[in-house]
Amino acid sequence: MINKTPIVLIGGGGHCRSCIDVIESTNKYIIEGIIDLKENIGKKILGYSVIGDDKDIEKLTKDGFCFHIAIGQIKTADKRIQINNILKQLNADQPTIISPLAYLSPHSRTGSGTIVMHHAFINANVLIGENCIINTKALIEHDSRIDNFCHISTSAVLNGNVIIKENVFIGSNATIFPNTTVNSGSIIGAGKTIQKDVMSGEVIR
């Protein structure tokens, strides 16, 4: 019998549903419940109960649970960063979640709290920071770097030697050309092709 780790998800929106599917597929965790808005306590999401709000995180940490931040990220990672800071102060464990349907090169590294979703492909010598979302079918090519709190959306393509700095959103089906840097706080819209460096805070729709 496999000993599964009890985990609590933080955030009960649409991204949470995708996270549940990936976490279940790993067969490594028991989802004990979800932290969400106070008014949603008692509701169920894909069969899992909302068991508390942000104020309950400290007690759940003391009870020995680990956590995954299941809040989506489009315009900003501010809420994810805020929750991460709370978890760090409490020394709470945030495991890296890897779908068994994803490919992760043994020569790559992925930080705590990051989720790599179904059919994502992460090639050799890729470095991925903490609390990133590598969404379904995203392709991260060799020697690229993704810093903390980034969301690489569905079917986005990062070619070789790309650098994505903190708190960046890369939209679905976007393509980043090789040797390109996307600076912090930028938003790249769905389907965009990026052939030159992107300035901090720049929005390309």
For domain 97-205, the CATH architecture is 3 Solenoid (2.160)
CATH 3.40.50.20 fits 5-89, yes or no: yes
State pLDDT tens for residues 79-128.
999 999 999 999 999 999 999 999 999 999 999 999 999 999 999 999 99
Going from N- to C-terminal start, the domains of the chain cover 5-89, 97-205
Identity of the amino acid at 198: V
5-89 and 97-205 in the same fold: no
Residue among 102, 43, 33 nearest 67 (CA): 33
Residue-wise DSSP of 104-160: E-TT-EE-TT-EE-TT-EE-TT-EE-SS-EE-TT-EE-TT-EE-SS-EE-TT-EE-T
What is the distance, to the nearest Å, from the Cα of residue 3 to the centroid of all Cα atoms in its chain? 24
State pLDDT tens for residues 21-70.
999 999 999 999 999 999 999 999 999 999 999 999 999 999 999 999 99
